[in-house]
Structure 1
């Protein structure tokens, strides 16, 4: 009995229970936010036709897309400096800081949306909640903190698999949460307001997550001597994969990886962020349950991406895996341009089955190009770069969607596919450079053994 309790306590002190609670809370919050925004769009105050008694579909689409544009822009800008500050604090030994502080932001966001529903507050209140969430570091700091802990606790050979394993847990939890969210949104909503129960559950999970990070989460501290010894062992033992930077930083590869990540995320997030708005209009016109299933499809993509990494990495390099993922997303999102029915939507998403391979693999490659002492700031710099890119692609995709709504609503998805194809160019260059470096390394080793 004592042994079992100790085993349970040991598991609870790991990062996995924290990720499970955070994903449940975040998924329920996002599902509720989507439907609350849709409900409020019915009362949009700026109809295209002033003489109309009810807002037109175009005015509702403008209300929804404008809300998300401002909301996402705040989420892009606000975390930049706090995330960098938290990363530096983390690299100085306070590894919990980039995880604990953003979790407070998650809690206040779900609590604020609950108050908006209960007291019928204006949706603009959520802009303030988004700003507070960003100032706490947001997902940028939180996920970088999680990836830093994983990087410190794994070898270069197993790092991409370890990162994808966390993505798998995160996606599996999101799948369950999204499938349930549509049904929970409609529970006990007649008097208190639609989504009240779902938001209460979300707030509770976020509070539990915050308490877990303070009380239970155990962080293994790795000294500089340990990281140097680990790097030396990896360098001597493995030649078939890139290892961590033993001296300086390969600046060319780092720049190319940053460029590829920014292009890919611009195409990926720019289009995926518009999907909730796209499916709320005719001819799809989804309800809360269908929205939950649509969000669950995104979680399934993480599962299939993880399985692809397990299967393909035996015969493919990291660069090739990234290209496979980018090609998968480009084909699926291009097909999304012509979706007019629900079954076509899920068919297009099925083509995206490997679409979430690129970003964690790019993080893995980046961590192999820098010393262990710079993991936190490097991974956070990547996240910050993606946030800066969001300042361009979020308003661009929103305005392009609004301008093309009447003649080709799927044009933004075609644009996204084009950006993804462009992102494949720097990754191809990194792959060629890595292959050449690996061949040179093997030749030098053989020459050294002969001597």
Structure 2
């Protein structure tokens, strides 16, 4: 049987299963914390708006909100270091042992997590076991590891820079479509069957995805023979991986290094602002005065994920008439406006309307990835996306921790404060993109290549500054 070179199904199934588990996990923790703190059964709200505005009821919500957000903080904190280390090593290691290893292990970790979560829910075990399960699963890799492997895979099979940008933007679109479908499904599935059946379904989806990677997906990196391994890599494997990452930033072309660092920093801060705030969005929607039900949360999450589709369309259309840097700036303005509106949203209608200015909020991610990839040679793609995945996981993990802490500290007097903080931080990547534009506008752009000549024989490289 001939294998396929389509990594998009892996992302689609993983996104659907993961984005179904994520809101389930937050709501499960919220309900368990509610029961522990109030000694009462959590009552499902069927419509938006709080049932009562009594002072005692408001205090209950604030206590539960604070405890749930702190639980999320501890969950991310304990899994941060193993997650970062495994992501960096696995994606870089895929340069030597093939891309599929960076896809297989995160799927194994996801199966471990969902099965453990199912056992905790079914037997009503201690909530702290969720943290334990999360730490164990991150030892196999995580969402960032799988995405790093997927983008490296796409860099291997893409013929030129244009195809690379389109397929990377397509990955973002696939994430949006299937995560949106999962968000809607999770709300109805939870209301109809409780937590156990959705968790079982997610476990089966991850297992089916694992079978696809093992038996269908073709490898793009030639794995060395055992005799070759004995002569080279195995003697100092960790040192080899570290040196490959070091060489990525040790180029003699200082302008190329500066542009790469600026792009990587802009991407990191963008992820911090864009993805980090998702750690408190559901808590914000559960809190007064919104008090959303699981159905409204599902619709809200699904509507948010449509930005992946509209951002893909934006990249596809705008790339014909605007330079890459302008596309990134438009995306940053989109997310900044949406975050400000989120901080001020006090009604269900306004909370839904928040998604309108954020229709292009995902555009910076694929464009920045493509720009970085186009100034790295083929031999550096694994190291590059290892660094990108590492920085993405670091920024999002730190963002989850910091925003959960900020939300817990400010929920009593201004629940939307953390969204204003994120909006202000979006000004930093805007300034970095301006610096990249300044470097790219110099005469050196025309006379000095950003990439070594070895790459021009195998692909047509499009400079990222246009």
TM-score class normalised by the smaller sequence: 0.7 to 0.9
Aligned positions, number: 406
When residues 200 and 395 of structure 1 are mapped into structure 2, their CA distance, relative to the original with a 3 A threshold, is closer
The answer to whether the aligner puts 1:20 opposite 2:17 as a matched pair is no
When residues 53 and 320 of structure 1 are mapped into structure 2, their CA distance, relative to the original with a 3 A threshold, is closer
The 3-state SS of whatever aligns with 1:122 is coil
Cα deviation for residue 251 of structure 1 reads 1.0
Report the Cα distance in structure 2 between the residues aligned to 1:217 and 1:36, rounded to whole angstroms.
35
The answer to whether the aligner puts 1:203 opposite 2:203 as a matched pair is yes
Report the Cα distance in structure 2 between the residues aligned to 1:437 and 1:113, rounded to whole angstroms.
57
Cα deviation for residue 10 of structure 1 reads 5.8
When residues 391 and 307 of structure 1 are mapped into structure 2, their CA distance, relative to the original with a 3 A threshold, is closer
User: C-alpha deviations, 1:108-134, integer Å up to 9, x for none?
Assistant: 111111111100011211111111221
The answer to whether the aligner puts 1:212 opposite 2:212 as a matched pair is yes
Unaligned runs of 5+ in 1: 1-5, 189-193, 224-243, 444-451
User: C-alpha deviations, 1:163-187, integer Å up to 9, x for none?
Assistant: 0112112221222222221111122
Cα deviation for residue 419 of structure 1 reads 0.3
Which structure 2 residues correspond to residues 238-249 of structure 1 after superposition, within 5 A?
Answer: none
Asked whether the equivalents of residues 13 and 206 of structure 2 are also in contact (C-alpha less than 8 Å), the reply is yes
When residues 222 and 424 of structure 1 are mapped into structure 2, their CA distance, relative to the original with a 3 A threshold, is farther
When residues 439 and 53 of structure 1 are mapped into structure 2, their CA distance, relative to the original with a 3 A threshold, is closer
The 3-state SS of whatever aligns with 2:277 is helix
The answer to whether the aligner puts 1:139 opposite 2:131 as a matched pair is no
Asked whether the equivalents of residues 28 and 181 of structure 1 are also in contact (C-alpha less than 8 Å), the reply is yes
Asked whether the equivalents of residues 154 and 167 of structure 2 are also in contact (C-alpha less than 8 Å), the reply is yes
The answer to whether the aligner puts 1:161 opposite 2:166 as a matched pair is yes
When residues 439 and 390 of structure 1 are mapped into structure 2, their CA distance, relative to the original with a 3 A threshold, is closer
The answer to whether the aligner puts 1:127 opposite 2:131 as a matched pair is yes
Report the Cα distance in structure 1 between the residues aligned to 2:418 and 2:28, rounded to whole angstroms.
24
The answer to whether the aligner puts 1:178 opposite 2:183 as a matched pair is yes
When residues 344 and 438 of structure 1 are mapped into structure 2, their CA distance, relative to the original with a 3 A threshold, is farther
Return the match for 2:107 from 103, 108, 127: 103
Which structure 2 residues correspond to residues 84-95 of structure 1 after superposition, within 5 A?
Answer: 84-95=88-99
Counterpart for residue 227 of structure 2? none
Asked whether the equivalents of residues 148 and 388 of structure 2 are also in contact (C-alpha less than 8 Å), the reply is no
Report the Cα distance in structure 2 between the residues aligned to 1:396 and 1:24, rounded to whole angstroms.
27
Asked whether the equivalents of residues 175 and 299 of structure 1 are also in contact (C-alpha less than 8 Å), the reply is yes
The 3-state SS of whatever aligns with 2:393 is helix
Cα deviation for residue 54 of structure 1 reads 11
Report the Cα distance in structure 2 between the residues aligned to 1:396 and 1:30, rounded to whole angstroms.
19
User: C-alpha deviations, 1:267-323, integer Å up to 9, x for none?
Assistant: 222322210111111111111111111221221010111010011111111111111
When residues 370 and 415 of structure 1 are mapped into structure 2, their CA distance, relative to the original with a 3 A threshold, is same
Report the Cα distance in structure 1 between the residues aligned to 2:404 and 2:309, rounded to whole angstroms.
29
Counterpart for residue 70 of structure 1? 74
Report the Cα distance in structure 1 between the residues aligned to 2:30 and 2:443, rounded to whole angstroms.
53
Asked whether the equivalents of residues 44 and 55 of structure 1 are also in contact (C-alpha less than 8 Å), the reply is no
Q: Which segment is superposed worse, 267-276 or 251-260? A: 267-276
Report the Cα distance in structure 2 between the residues aligned to 1:364 and 1:133, rounded to whole angstroms.
29
Report the Cα distance in structure 2 between the residues aligned to 1:167 and 1:267, rounded to whole angstroms.
17
User: C-alpha deviations, 1:228-284, integer Å up to 9, x for none?
Assistant: xxxxxxxxxxxxxxxx99x75611011111221222222222322210111111111
The answer to whether the aligner puts 1:412 opposite 2:418 as a matched pair is yes
When residues 343 and 54 of structure 1 are mapped into structure 2, their CA distance, relative to the original with a 3 A threshold, is closer
Report the Cα distance in structure 2 between the residues aligned to 1:107 and 1:170, rounded to whole angstroms.
19
The answer to whether the aligner puts 1:353 opposite 2:359 as a matched pair is yes
Cα deviation for residue 97 of structure 1 reads 0.7
Asked whether the equivalents of residues 42 and 55 of structure 1 are also in contact (C-alpha less than 8 Å), the reply is no
Report the Cα distance in structure 2 between the residues aligned to 1:297 and 1:140, rounded to whole angstroms.
23
Asked whether the equivalents of residues 312 and 363 of structure 2 are also in contact (C-alpha less than 8 Å), the reply is yes
Report the Cα distance in structure 2 between the residues aligned to 1:107 and 1:395, rounded to whole angstroms.
24
Compare relative contact order (CA 8 Å, sep 6+) and give the higher one, 1 or 2: 2
Cα deviation for residue 90 of structure 1 reads 0.5
Counterpart for residue 233 of structure 2? none
Report the Cα distance in structure 1 between the residues aligned to 2:178 and 2:394, rounded to whole angstroms.
29
When residues 159 and 407 of structure 1 are mapped into structure 2, their CA distance, relative to the original with a 3 A threshold, is same
User: C-alpha deviations, 1:18-58, integer Å up to 9, x for none?
Assistant: 222212211221132122112112124499xxxx8997111
What is the TM-score of this pair, normalised by structure 1? 0.84
Cα deviation for residue 148 of structure 1 reads 0.3
Report the Cα distance in structure 1 between the residues aligned to 2:125 and 2:444, rounded to whole angstroms.
59
Cα deviation for residue 439 of structure 1 reads 6.0
The answer to whether the aligner puts 1:389 opposite 2:395 as a matched pair is yes
Q: Which segment is superposed worse, 52-61 or 253-262? A: 52-61
Report the Cα distance in structure 1 between the residues aligned to 2:131 and 2:167, rounded to whole angstroms.
35
